[in-house]
Amino acid sequence: MSSCFSPRYTALLRLYNALKRMLALLLVGTVLAACSHADAPWKLTDVSGHLPDLNFNLTDDNGQPVTGHSFEGQTTLVYFGYTHCPDVCPETMARLMQVLQQLGPEAKDVRIVFITVDPARDTPAALHAYVRAFDAEHAIGLTGTDSAVEGIAKRYRVAYQMEKRDAKGAYDVTHSSAVYIFDSHGHARLLATETDSIDTIANDVRRVIESPSS
C-alpha cells in the first residue's frame, strides 16, 4: 500500500522528531548542569554546622548598640582586626572591597563587619573613620568592652594577643586573619583566608547570596 504522506512531509516529520530529541537532550543537560552547580563543593572552607550563628551585643561605629540580629537579611562578612594594624588588616579590607566590586549589584545586600580586637584604642569614632575610608555604604566597625570582645572572639575561635609595648606605649596585636561569611539568616557558612583568591571569595559569596540556608 502506498504511503499517504508526501516525501517532503515525511522528511519534515523526521526533522521535527530529530529536533525534538535534540531539545530533550539539551534540557536534560541543562538540568544536570544546574544540579551539578548546586551540589558542587565550596572552594572556601565550609563551616556550616560547625560554628554558631551570628550572635553578639556590641557597639557600632556610631556609638549605637548592635546585635547579630541587626544583620538579618544580609550576607555578612565578619573580620576581626584593629585600626592600628600595619599590614594584614588594611590588605584584607582592600581585598574585600574588590570582592564587592566583583559582586556588582548583588553587593547591595552584603555587609562587611570589622570587629576590633583592640577595644582600648578603637573607639567608635576611630572605627568610623577607619572602615568608612574603605566603604561608607557596606562596611561597619564594631567595638565593646574587653569581656564582650573576648567573648565573641572565643565564640568564633578567633585568637588574638597584645604584644609588648614599646618605649612610647605603642603595641601590636597578633590576631587570626580569617573572614567569616554568614548568610542572610545569620548562619555561619564559609571561612576565607588570605590564601583564597578574590575570584574564589566572590564566587562563593555569590552562591551564599543566591542560596541561603533555611
pLDDT (tens digit, 9 = 90+) per residue, 183-197? 999 999 999 999 999
Residue 122 has pLDDT above 60, yes or no: yes
Task: Report the phi/psi class of residue 133: left, alpha or beta, with left for phi > 0 and alpha for psi in -120 to 50.
Answer: alpha
Residue 153 has pLDDT above 70, yes or no: yes
Residue-range definition of the domain harbouring residue 12? 1-40
Question: pTM of the entire structure?
Answer: 0.80
Tell me: do 21 and 113 sit in the same domain. no
Contacts of 71 (CB under 8 A, 6+ apart): 54, 111, 113, 182, 186
Q: Which residues of 37-63 are buried (b: 16+ CB within 10 A; e: fewer)?
A: eeeeebbbeebeeebeebebebbbbee
Tell me: do 110 and 35 sit in the same domain. no
Tell me: do 99 and 163 sit in the same domain. yes
Tell me: do 55 and 135 sit in the same domain. yes
Tell me: do 52 and 30 sit in the same domain. no
Residue 30 has pLDDT above 50, yes or no: no
Per-residue confidence at 40, pLDDT binned at 50, 70, 90? Answer: confident
Q: Give the three cell numbers for residue 181.
A: 561569611
Tell me: do 16 and 118 sit in the same domain. no
Tell me: do 1 and 80 sit in the same domain. no
Tell me: do 90 and 145 sit in the same domain. yes
Mean pLDDT for 149-172 is: 90
Number of independent structural domains in the chain: 2
Tell me: do 25 and 69 sit in the same domain. no
Residue 37 has pLDDT above 90, yes or no: no
